[in-house]
Chain A
Amino acid sequence: MPSIVCTAKASYKKLPGTLELTDSHLQWTQDGRKNSVRVPHQDASSLFCSKEGAAQVRLKLGLVNDDVGHNFTFTTTPQEVAYSERETFKTELTNIISRNRSSGVLAAASAQTPKGPVTAASTLTPSKAATPAALPASRASTSRATSVVSDGRTPILSGQDAATVFRLRKRVLFANPELLALHKELVMGGQITEAEFWDGREHLLLAEAATENQKRGRPGQLVDPRPQTVDGGEVKIVITPQLVHDIFDEFPVVAKAYNDNVPNKLSEAEFWKRYFQSKLFNAHRASIRSSATQHVVKEDPIFDKYLEKDDDELEPRRLRDEVSDLFINLGATLEDHVETGNERDVTMQAGRQRGALPLIRKFNEHSERLLNSALGDAPPSKRRLVSGGDVENPFSEIEYDDLQDHESSPGILLEMQDRRRYFEGRLGRVGAANGGAESSREVIDVQNAFKDLLSRMNGWEGRFSQLKIEKKSSEAALSSMTQNVAARLDIKATKSDFPPGLFRQLTTCQTAANEFLRQFWTSIYPPPSDLHTPIPTAVQRSAKAAKMAGYLVKTHEKVDALVRAAVLEGVEGNRVVIAMKPLMDAVEHALAFHRGRSTALGGGASPEKPGSKLV
């Protein structure tokens, strides 16, 4: 059964009942009846509470696809107890919701593997597996993880210290409940080590590290505080710390003015008040209308000092270095030859709309600033080195990629025994087939065949009318069909899932066995070359394979135990066997392989030897 995190008396739609928070669901049961409301954790998206001191102690849970959500009223008396109960729910649910949000779109359908007492594993660490809440449990796992990390065999991602790796692992586990459950069972159950668990899962950590390093960029919009008109004709601008920061960032001159004047000459509030009334502010506004309002604005001795001339000349006020990349250097074309010809007509002379020029420059500068805030403002020459590509291939910009024949690589030779014989045999077979086809083709005479067909078609109408379908067989067919449908319907109707407890045990057994299989095969296959983790030696790997094989052997017993348990619960044991069949096949296969390998390589007694041969 799912472990219950907390529980309380609560009414839902004015019906009394019990509210329970398990580690997978929030569940409300009406008194004396069956379950009526069940919300999986993934669906929880928002939480609302009634104010303290309100007549009723309420809790509202918003759902991912349903903002209306569910309303629960805590009914325990006295009210203080109800409060504390609600607080418990609140903290737990807040955790769940924030986890939901951080994990983004965790498909609501994905079944959450429940934790709980499990077969073999739980016996080893009963206290920890039984810890009810998700949070403390994971904390317990962390303490364990560190101890494993310290054993020195942990594959540490290159360039990252153990602490970072540990943090990443934690995050991955939190984001992935199934993995968390598996981890809990296998690692904390002591069956495999932390390092082994993560071996082959480095990509998850790398992906997590990548997402962690990806910072959200600044929003693109221009800093342009627009005054709101309040009744009475006054304007109002709400200043937030964020706005202040943005203004300082966008207009360093304001920051300078602030440093010069606050708090000696002006108070903070006065500074902003005067700034928003000054010409300076109007010059900073991203609008060409501001020039029209210029005459309305009062003179301000303090701010007018900082006023700069409008940047509306054809040449920008701030001169910049030339772009060195000739592929995009427009100035070079302009200077390529002496200017000739008549001047361009009025509409084609750039910069005739004087008022728009400061605005346009502001756009370009703002965009550049945003880019630099994300990419750093290294000089262009350096930038190119960093971006790579260009250095290796000077023609990368002009090359036509699709004209290159990438497919003509020699390819990898398929290694197989006695290749020549295979091909010869194939050739022979193909030849024979061809020969056969040819000879048969010679036999077929189209005209004859056609005539033959025609003659056979003669009198088809008469024969068609004589066609009779025997009653008996048709009835038999129909009845068998009906039976089939009925049987299916029956199965469908009666198809009851395994009891939840058993089902959970089944899945746990399967995921565990899968993990063992994964570990087994990774220790058999040659290690991937692209990961920057220390590659275990052959001896280590074969030892690991042997260990995993040992675990896999036990799968049989486990399944048998499950079958027995199923019978006890009133489920046909056969169904369990069928359900576990693919797994058993895989296990059998792995074991057979292991046995075959050990015996093939000298008696099978020394698992170290085959490993060394593998490499």
Chain B
Amino acid sequence: MKFFIDNLPIVFPYDRIYPGDYAIKYDCVPLLAIQGHCVLEMPSGTGKTVSLLSLIVSYQQFHPTKRKLIYCSRTVPEIEKALSELKRLMKYRISCAETPEQREKEENFIGLGLTSRKNLCIHPEVSKEKKGKVVDARCRDLTNSAVCEKGRANPGSVELCDWHENLGTHEPGTLIPPGIWTLADVLQHGRDNGTCPYFTVRRMMPFVDVIIYSFHYLIDPKVADQVSKELSKDAIVVFDEAHNIDNVCIESLSIDLTRPMLDSASRSVTKLGEKIDEIKITDAAKLQDEYAKLVEGLQEATADTSPEDTFMANPALPDDLLNEAIPGNIRKAEHFVAFLKRFVEYLKTRMRVLHVVAETPLSFLQHLKDITYIRKTTVTSLIRTLELNRLDEHSALQKVASFATLVATYEKGFLLILEPFETDNATVPNPVFHFTCLDPSLAIKPVFEHFSSVVITSGTISPLDMYPKMLQFTPVVQETYPMTLTRNAFLPLVITRGSDQVAISSRFEVRNDPAVVRNFGSILVEYSKIVPDGIVAFFPSYLYMESIVAAWNDMGILNEVWKNKLIFVETPDANETSIALENYRRACDNGRGAVLLSVARGKVSEGIDFDHNYGRAVIMFGVPYQYTESRILKARLEYLRDAYRIRESEFLGFDAMRNAAQCVGRVLRGKTDWGLMVFADKRFARADKRAKLPRWINQYITEVASNLSTDMALTLSKLFMRTISQNPNENQTGISLWTLEDIEKAQAKQREQALLLEQEGQRDEDEYGDGGIDDEMCMDVDL
């Protein structure tokens, strides 16, 4: 359908639209024009992605200024889904283009997705590598400019990547025909044409209209530097599924160092030293030359970022630092290496301490004055100059270098924690040096500063004011959209006690109590009896899931489940879990039905949809609180309290509930889909907990359903399933689905209201609103 909002023609690729989607568009149109940031909460599975994409693409195609769209999502499945949505949207737009020019314009629209080399490599050997790091390094060895030059000058002397070489034969900007390419499409295109998919996307970046990649590519300074450099200021940035964006920010600036890492780093340093010595003997002049080039290159790189087109400021390195001259003591490679060696040794000594140490970067630096100006890039380029292969072997050294850089750069918002033991009762030391970022706003600040329109959206970002507070920005629009349904498509239930009336909770003190474990188990057993197809169960942590699965097995509870459904469990290995997931879906499709046990905040909880038969019920066993004994978390809570006045309990509750809502929200997709949402913990019954759930879930929790025992919940569930399984013969159109006429009606109504308001404003000349004598009257009074 096609409709207008403020003269902007919007093409929505379906015949109907949800009222919420329309509302989002209505609110965002002015936003795109005036430029500003916004936070939107919209129920999961009601077409958030397609809604935003259709709006922004409509805007892009309507206005002559080509504003790029940078669409960020969390996981590769979500990126792929967003790309598919975009592809479908463009197909629809092409099909409803009115003139040949319009059609051509739509056909020339380019959208690509970017992910790592590991995911996009089609080199027969390199792609076989299991670790992304190794793929990266081997790819670099085959594609870096020095090797390429050598290889081209003297074919056969060095190994090159044919797929990468083939790219050179194409004109830049025409590496791939215009259109929307999903990751799978790009891979296929690469295979068909013998070109490298990864570099195709990278080199096409300046020419695309839409780029879709993960948060890290924009937020993590290490990656953003390489990837997101060319993106211009007026681009529109969307962070989808952004409920965990603060964690991504924090992660991108945090680093861990362990003893093995330091050992490996010191080995690298030694190797580096040897190489330098070797080259010094053989080719002293060359080294000198290369080094001069390197220093020049660094300065050039800095100069490149001319003020009229400042690319995103590197959050790790403030501008002044970048512009500063290269410090003298690392001009000489030998000195630099010697310095790194000293630094690694120093860290090693620090690790010998057998008690926990927490200190600020400032106090750490006092021990170590001269590390201030190490740059990670310096290390990388040095390695490149020395033509060392297999960068991955030096990753530890790189990590040490970036550690040093970060420590030297920030004084506030960070903490260094040395933990000599893994757990409290461990006796063998396994020291870890945590350099942890406490302030999420640091990493995202450059994004807000650089881009004029940033949209943060998710199904679960209640309470809305938390995000602007944590990320330190002022939103122009801040809105949560309710769910309009003609019938309750999902049933949230809070089970607080088992059928034997024993309260259930995942609270640490009682979680391993046999009665609680059995009651949790009986919930699973009973639901596996009555729910068709798929059931997904989430646990608050891996530790708890693994122990409870073992306990259930020994208690014979799982045997009962086996009678009704197959059981799949999330494992530590991602690929193994993917296979389990695939089989789970097969079992759901086949009608055999299955139970998937997984962990909130775990791999499965993010980015995988359990819509329709893949998830007819989600059971949340316990409240997914974070592990409060963690020193890093404690430090973060303290920081939040001091810096932003966010209370510890408030943050913990908010964090737990957003994750619970996230897990539970994955069952719905579209309004004919239905599912049960079971919250099994007595703490969910508390009003303050429920208030933190998104409004669209919370509004459907009735007073009765907020404090149930297992048997009562089962009765309600059965009743619900019986009613919901009926054919929805009542027409949803007009209420939860809008046709074009409905939109026009709504628009007419809005105009009317606006007019009414205006009239009211005119009539109501009482400026102060207090009903007193106004100025004019005062003037008229004849004194």
The answer to whether A binds B is yes
B183 interface residue per 8 A CB criterion:
yes
| Distance of A329 Cα from B577 Cα, bound (Å) | 9
B85 touches A398 (CB 8 A): yes
| Distance of A386 Cα from B702 Cα, bound (Å) | 44
When each residue 106-140 of chain A gets 1 if its CB lies under 8 Å from chain B and 0 otherwise, what string results?
A: 00000000000000000000000000000000000
Residues from chain A with a CB closer than 8 A to the CB of B577 are 330
Q: A352-B546, A353-B547 are in contact. Are A221 and B563 (CB under 8 A)?
A: yes
Closest beta carbon of chain A to B263's beta carbon, Å: 18
A400 touches B84 (CB 8 A): no
B633 touches A403 (CB 8 A): no
Closest beta carbon of chain B to A406's beta carbon, Å: 9
Residues from chain A with a CB closer than 8 A to the CB of B488 are none
When each residue 531-547 of chain B gets 1 if its CB lies under 8 Å from chain A and 0 otherwise, what string results?
A: 00000000011111011
Residues from chain A with a CB closer than 8 A to the CB of B250 are 341
Of B217, B547, B583, which one neighbours A364 at CB under 8 angstroms? B583
B592 interface residue per 8 A CB criterion:
yes
Q: Count contacts between A and B, CB distance < 8 Å.
A: 273
B737 touches A402 (CB 8 A): yes
Q: A326-B184, A405-B16 are in contact. Are A288 and B626 (CB under 8 A)?
A: no
When each residue 321-363 of chain A gets 1 if its CB lies under 8 Å from chain B and 0 otherwise, what string results?
A: 0110111111111111110111101111111110111011101
Return the chain B residue nearest A372 by Cβ: B583
Of A314, A342, A350, A398, which one neighbours B88 at CB under 8 angstroms? A398
A408 interface residue per 8 A CB criterion:
yes
Residues from chain A with a CB closer than 8 A to the CB of B322 are none
A327 touches B254 (CB 8 A): no
A342 touches B434 (CB 8 A): yes
Residues from chain B with a CB closer than 8 A to the CB of A334 are 132, 574, 603
| Distance of A103 Cα from B770 Cα, bound (Å) | 83
A327 touches B77 (CB 8 A): yes
B554 touches A287 (CB 8 A): yes
B220 interface residue per 8 A CB criterion:
yes
B146 interface residue per 8 A CB criterion:
no
**A to B CB contacts below 8 Å, 20 in the list:** A217-B592, A286-B553, A289-B554, A314-B573, A322-B575, A326-B183, A327-B77, A328-B77, A328-B608, A332-B119, A333-B74, A336-B75, A345-B626, A346-B543, A351-B571, A360-B546, A364-B576, A400-B47, A400-B670, A402-B737
Q: Which of B242-258 contact A (CB under 8 A)?
A: 247, 250-252, 254-256
Residues from chain B with a CB closer than 8 A to the CB of A287 are 550, 553-554
Of A394, A402, A408, which one neighbours B84 at CB under 8 angstroms? A394
Q: A289-B554, A353-B543, A359-B549 are in contact. Are A336 and B119 (CB under 8 A)?
A: yes
Residues from chain B with a CB closer than 8 A to the CB of A349 are 542-543
A534 interface residue per 8 A CB criterion:
no
B236 interface residue per 8 A CB criterion:
no
A343 touches B256 (CB 8 A): yes
| Distance of A346 Cα from B737 Cα, bound (Å) | 46
When each residue 382-420 of chain A gets 1 if its CB lies under 8 Å from chain B and 0 otherwise, what string results?
A: 010001000000110111111111001000000000000
Q: How large is the interface on B (under 10, 10 to 19, 20 to 34, 35 or more residues)?
A: 35 or more
| Distance of A349 Cα from B76 Cα, bound (Å) | 21
Of A315, A355, A367, A402, which one neighbours B587 at CB under 8 angstroms? A367
Closest beta carbon of chain B to A501's beta carbon, Å: 46
Return the chain B residue nearest A323 by Cβ: B578
B85 touches A404 (CB 8 A): no
| Distance of A408 Cα from B740 Cα, bound (Å) | 13
B581 touches A336 (CB 8 A): no
Return the chain A residue nearest B556 by Cβ: A226
| Distance of A7 Cα from B390 Cα, bound (Å) | 94
A260 interface residue per 8 A CB criterion:
no
Residues from chain B with a CB closer than 8 A to the CB of A486 are none
B587 touches A351 (CB 8 A): no
Closest beta carbon of chain B to A500's beta carbon, Å: 42
Residues from chain A with a CB closer than 8 A to the CB of B626 are 345
Closest beta carbon of chain A to B459's beta carbon, Å: 15
Which residues of chain A have a CB within 8 Å of any CB of chain B? Answer: 217, 219-222, 286-289, 314-316, 320, 322-323, 325-338, 340-343, 345-353, 355-357, 359-361, 363-364, 367-368, 370-371, 374-375, 380, 383, 387, 394-395, 397-405, 408
Which residues of chain B have a CB within 8 Å of any CB of chain A? Answer: 14-18, 47, 50, 74-77, 79-81, 84-85, 87-88, 115-116, 118-119, 131-133, 182-184, 214, 216-217, 220, 222-223, 247, 250-252, 254-256, 422-423, 432, 434, 436, 540-544, 546-547, 549-550, 553-554, 558-559, 562-583, 585-587, 589-590, 592, 594, 599, 601-604, 606-608, 626-627, 629-630, 632-633, 669-672, 732, 737, 739
Residues from chain A with a CB closer than 8 A to the CB of B559 are 221-222
Return the chain A residue nearest B583 by Cβ: A368
A335 touches B116 (CB 8 A): yes
A363 touches B569 (CB 8 A): yes
Of A323, A336, A401, which one neighbours B214 at CB under 8 angstroms? A336
Residues from chain B with a CB closer than 8 A to the CB of A220 are 562-566
Q: A345-B626, A371-B592 are in contact. Are A328 and B576 (CB under 8 A)?
A: no
Residues from chain A with a CB closer than 8 A to the CB of B565 are 220
B576 touches A375 (CB 8 A): no
Residues from chain B with a CB closer than 8 A to the CB of A367 are 566-568, 580, 583, 587, 594
A342 touches B256 (CB 8 A): yes
Task: Tell which of B549, B576, B630 has the most Cβ of chain A within 10 Å.
Answer: B576
Given contacts A347-B541, A353-B550, A367-B580, 11 further A-B contacts (CB under 8 A): A219-B563, A316-B576, A326-B182, A341-B250, A342-B256, A355-B550, A360-B569, A394-B84, A395-B88, A402-B670, A404-B15
| Distance of A141 Cα from B422 Cα, bound (Å) | 81
Return the chain B residue nearest A318 by Cβ: B576
| Distance of A403 Cα from B16 Cα, bound (Å) | 5
B669 touches A400 (CB 8 A): yes
Closest beta carbon of chain B to A281's beta carbon, Å: 17
Return the chain B residue nearest A287 by Cβ: B554
Closest beta carbon of chain B to A109's beta carbon, Å: 24
A400 touches B14 (CB 8 A): yes
Of A330, A353, A395, A404, which one neighbours B16 at CB under 8 angstroms? A404
A338 touches B554 (CB 8 A): no
Closest beta carbon of chain A to B634's beta carbon, Å: 11
Residues from chain A with a CB closer than 8 A to the CB of B669 are 400
Closest beta carbon of chain B to A537's beta carbon, Å: 40
B579 touches A320 (CB 8 A): yes
B582 touches A337 (CB 8 A): no
| Distance of A221 Cα from B85 Cα, bound (Å) | 41
B585 touches A328 (CB 8 A): yes
A221 touches B571 (CB 8 A): no
Of B79, B216, B254, B672, which one neighbours A401 at CB under 8 angstroms? B672
